[in-house]
Structure 1
Amino acid sequence: MVESRLSNLRYAMVCASNQNRSMEAHALLKEHNFRVGSYGVGQHVKLPGASAKEPNVYGFGTPYKLIYEELSAKDPELYTRNGLLKMLHRNMGVKTAPERWQDCRDRYDVVVCFEERVFDACVDDLQKREQSLCRSVLVVNLEVKDNHEEAANAAPHALRLCQMLDASEDWEEEIDAILNVFEKETGRRPLYTICFY
């Protein structure tokens, strides 16, 4: 059942390139009326190419539609077979373009990362920012392999975690209990820390 009201908290979904894992979760949370954004932490957006030595590289801010059109023109059979065109089509329905976490100045209550190095980059970035508001932000990592199947499997887990956090009276007091229940339900034990704005 889709929630009819907006979420209490604001959520950010973060992966390396803001293409697969973060966007799968973003799409699902958006569908459930969560106030959600998504980002990548890499220097560039990298997508698989014809070989491992030839990735498709784009700057953050390049519209998903443009990437879709370029890959469709380059090798429609390859990019249909490997799922990139389907992924980009989904992304176009969620937002205009991939965004870089380090350039984001929106403030979130919860940041969900999908890889430990992404988690480390987000925490490092938050710790370098001016912390003038004394407002806490929960940064959580759900370790997820960067492929379409794993992203699809992890998105409902991200949604469930966000539902549990949103339903809590005080996530800072309840976080350990929430994560214990989450681990029992999903088999995933998230890594987390608390940072400040």
Structure 2
Amino acid sequence: MAPISDLRIAVICSCNMNRSMEAHHFLSKKGFIVKSFGTGDKIKIPGSAADKPNIYDFGITYDEIYQDLLNKDKTLYTQNGMLHTLDRNKRIKSHPEKFQEANEKFDLLITCEEKVYDQVLEFMETQEPSDNSIAHVINFDIPDNLEEATIGAFLISDLCTMIIKSEDLDNDIEEVLHTFEDKAERPILHSIIFN
């Protein structure tokens, strides 16, 4: 399937496990050129209690996490949706990726929470622009649960669809974001960075 736009999109959450992967899955099915990332130090997913998360290093595969949770408590991780989430993830790509280790350029970086937005901007400020192409970093908060990740993926898809209809994104971006903000009823953060 040919892409519906040449816009290169990155969707970024903390662990590249739930919100960014649901959006990655949704956007790729719609024909967008998309990758997903996390910005956290570690991958943290719910454990047997609120104060006992499962913690993994970036570099582990989704399948390895799946097998680990299966061995720990198949019933718990089936009920809380983690095995289903990991099953979806491993059909999209092999492992969680850390944004700070990616050396690709994107036109649009969509973050799913303000902390992640700040981490992306902080990291980009340390990078030397290679060709001074403009990228837009956009954030709206998506709570980190399965239902909100699905709603967030729909909203991200709507936003990307609005953006690709613009003939001059750099001039139209504020208007597009204002329209989207009203429709989504979520506050938006936006910054321009140079690649």
- TM > 0.5 between the two? yes
Residue from 123, 134, 147 that aligns with 1:125: 123
* 1:51 CA drift (Å): 1.3
Distance 1:187 1:54 in 2: 34
Residue equivalent to 2:189: 191
Residue equivalent to 1:163: 161
Residue from 75, 78, 93 that aligns with 2:76: 78
Question: Does residue 142 of structure 2 align to residue 144 of structure 1?
Answer: yes
Pick which of 8-17 and 164-173 moved more: 164-173
Identity fraction in percent? 39
Secondary structure of the 2:92 match is coil
* 1:113 CA drift (Å): 0.2
Pick which of 36-45 and 127-136 moved more: 127-136
Residue equivalent to 1:182: 180
Is the Cα contact below 8 Å between 2:69 and 2:77 reproduced in 1? yes
> TM-score normalized by structure 1?
0.95
Distance 1:25 1:124 in 2: 23
Distance 1:146 1:95 in 2: 20
Is the Cα contact below 8 Å between 1:179 and 1:189 reproduced in 2? no
Q: Which runs of 5+ in 2 are unaligned?
A: none
Q: How many residues align?
A: 195
Distance 1:4 1:184 in 2: 31
Distance 1:5 1:112 in 2: 18
Residue from 16, 21, 29 that aligns with 1:23: 21
* 1:33 CA drift (Å): 1.0
Secondary structure of the 1:93 match is helix
* 1:184 CA drift (Å): 2.8
Residue equivalent to 2:100: 102
* 1:132 CA drift (Å): 2.8
Is the Cα contact below 8 Å between 1:45 and 1:60 reproduced in 2? yes
- The AA in structure 1 aligned to 2:64 is L
Distance 1:47 1:194 in 2: 31
Question: Which structure 2 residues correspond to residues 53-92 of structure 1 after superposition, within 5 A?
Answer: 53-92=51-90
Runs of at least 4 residues off by over 3 Å? 3-6
Cα deviation 1:113-166 (Å, max 9, x = unaligned): 000000000011111101131111100001111111111111100011111112
CA RMSD of aligned residues (A): 1.2
Distance 1:4 1:194 in 2: 28
Distance 2:48 2:182 in 1: 41
- The AA in structure 1 aligned to 2:144 is D
- The AA in structure 1 aligned to 2:183 is E
Residue equivalent to 2:49: 51
- The AA in structure 1 aligned to 2:38 is G
Q: Which runs of 5+ in 1 are unaligned?
A: none
Distance 1:5 1:67 in 2: 31
Is the Cα contact below 8 Å between 2:3 and 2:33 reproduced in 1? no
- The AA in structure 1 aligned to 2:27 is L
